[in-house]
Chain A
């Protein structure tokens, strides 16, 4: 397998009036072509910021890259000009967003939005944009591909006339327009009804398999990630604390935070085993804790954890953990 995406020691800060928020603190991740990776963590741990970093969509200012590299097919995205980034957006890396209601333009017909995306990618590729009619034909094809009936009627409608699930399918169809190699899905089911969630996940799964896409699925929901991703990375306060094959992480998490996350998930098969909550809340990224960012909430925390930031080390084949006390 060839490495598609490599994030190396990526640090991102947000400069605001209050000071500098250290949002991402040394992210290391790798994704091969056709591979599926889930990223889980609490709200505010930097998952979405990381996702947007892959397309350089974080507004700058306030976002500022402190250090590191994000290499896509060996090319460092952080060093690319805006025009070069535009060639990647949609065509190499595509993105599906959390709330389809706000990520579709309320005033534009579905057709306009899809045609604009398709034609924009044409012109980013250096060619003349194809005629609107041709773009519309492709848009209709894409809508059928994501399982939406009557694509022509759908193209003529506006987002407010669609249900949440339909909107998300439209966004997924748009993401497929440029035949990307990597699909980044940022909480794609969070804003949807539970029944629709399963359909949309199944759709993403099917598309990823059928088209051989690499998938980076971001979610706060371990269940969502475990169903679709072979590998999972657990994030806490801007760092990846553990990375492992999904079944192994769920069976035996090694990092105390990952253990806490899994203990907090109710087990429907054993209703007598009550889910356990994790004490404390996610720390301020304006003044993050010293040493290990998890130490104020960690049952194993020692003096060393307060002082020294643990580096992620490989404990078992394919499993790495950023904790001083974790043992295989």
Chain B
């Protein structure tokens, strides 16, 4: 098991290096001149060159790359050329909002998707299966921004059940940050009212974000369960008198969980990067919104920072999935 863990962690480190190379390359092949941006729209040629020297952009690329890597290693993401603010500080401010949203969306996806997938597998080709199929297909097919607008119109505007957008009402004072996760902070500070209010703001965007993820978890879990329930080891478990509940919940589900876990890991990374649309629609102050506004102004340091954060998250999620694989599958442990 130990060798397996070490190997997985080693692979993740390699991937991290690959990610660093890719973000650096993309930033440097992008057709915009950050020096010109930093110097402002009316800058003269000499002012632009000055800005280029200030940001170290006149150095040869290998040197820039080495500096980028050593900065990253010390947790420095560089300065935004548009605002002059430190990207690391910005990320620390925006990332918790995105993380919170994604965690809630992922929880919804797993807690609803898994049982529905199992249920559809048990009632394969029955009415329940057809209903969840339609539900899942629409989850994957509906564009999130359109679905988000629809929910805003229906639930926030017409029915008035939930707020339209934002993270808290403008008059509410957010809790003093401990973790930066609003719901957690409110709980830690014992501010139940703010927790409930924060939750009402989060439900709609989390729902929109979770829908495609829920749908794919449901479908993958369903087809894996169908397969597992047909497997030889289930036939023999039945023949030996194992209770049906135990067969479904342990013997079959454990086997069906391996591919389902993989899709959960992939969806986590996908979700982090797709918050861009959802955050824009719901005016959610997270890294998606931050990345979009930076990208529009050609400000590449924040975009690189966001890419790194999303990529690292993706890798951590997949590392966790790999480790869970090892826990679930004894064949991997001894391999």
Contact = CB atoms under 8 A, between A and B. Distances in A.
Nearest to A58: B235
Given A106-B255, A116-B251, A160-B331, A97 B242 contact: no
Given A89-B238, A106-B255, 7 more contacts: A57-B239, A103-B232, A106-B329, A107-B255, A123-B243, A124-B243, A160-B330
A104 interface: yes
Contacts of B239: 55, 57, 89-90, 94-95, 97
Contacts of B244: 86
Interface stretch (A144-152, A169-177, A314-322): A169-177
Contacts of A120: 240-243, 246
B237 A113 contact: yes
A103 B230 CA distance: 11
B243 to A, nearest CB: 5
A175 B243 CA distance: 15
B334 interface: yes
Contacts of B328: 107
B83 interface: no
Contacts of A178: 240-241
Interface in B240-271: 240-244, 246, 250-251, 254-255
B146 interface: no
Contacts of A91: 241
A205 interface: no
B233 A102 contact: yes
B241 A57 contact: no
A59 B244 CA distance: 14
B172 interface: no
A117 interface: yes
Interface in A92-115: 94-95, 97, 99, 102-109, 112-113
A239 interface: no
Contacts of A21: none
Contacts of B237: 105, 113, 116-117
A102 B238 contact: no
A103 B242 contact: no
A52 to B, nearest CB: 8
A106 B241 CA distance: 18
Interface of A: 52, 55, 57, 59, 86, 89-91, 94-95, 97, 99, 102-109, 112-113, 116-117, 119-121, 123-124, 158, 160-161, 171, 174-175, 177-178
A108 B233 CA distance: 10
B153 interface: no
B236 interface: yes
B241 A90 contact: yes
- Main secondary structure on chain B at its contact with chain A? helix
18 contacts: A89-B238, A89-B239, A91-B241, A102-B231, A102-B232, A105-B254, A107-B328, A116-B251, A117-B240, A117-B241, A119-B243, A121-B240, A121-B241, A124-B243, A160-B334, A171-B236, A174-B240, A177-B240
Contacts of B334: 160-161
A80 to B, nearest CB: 14
Interface of B: 230-233, 235-244, 246, 250-251, 254-255, 328-331, 334
Contacts of A86: 241, 243-244
Contacts of B235: 52, 57, 97, 103
A59 B230 contact: yes
6 closest Cβ pairs, A-B complex: A90-B241, A117-B240, A158-B330, A102-B232, A103-B236, A105-B233
A112 B254 CA distance: 13
B250 A108 contact: yes
Contact of A90 (B231, B240, B330): B240
A116 B334 CA distance: 24
A106 B238 CA distance: 16
Contacts of A160: 330-331, 334
A39 to B, nearest CB: 17
B248 to A, nearest CB: 12
B81 to A, nearest CB: 53
A112 B235 CA distance: 16
B326 to A, nearest CB: 12
A105 B242 CA distance: 12
Contacts of A105: 233, 237, 251, 254-255
A34 B331 CA distance: 40
A123 B330 CA distance: 29
B255 A116 contact: no
B335 to A, nearest CB: 9
A116 B255 CA distance: 16
Given A113-B237, A120-B246, A174-B240, A97 B232 contact: yes
A104 B251 CA distance: 10
A12 B54 CA distance: 84
A88 to B, nearest CB: 9
Given A108-B251, A158-B331, A103 B241 contact: no
Contacts of A177: 240
Contact of A106 (B230, B236, B242, B331): B331
A104 B330 contact: no
Nearest to A177: B240
Contacts of A90: 239-241
Contacts of B236: 95, 97, 103-104, 171, 174
A141 B334 CA distance: 27
A120 B245 CA distance: 10
Nearest to A161: B334
Contacts of B329: 106-107
A117 B236 CA distance: 10
B230 A89 contact: no
Nearest to B125: A61
A117 B234 CA distance: 12
A326 to B, nearest CB: 36
B233 A104 contact: yes
Contacts of A124: 241, 243
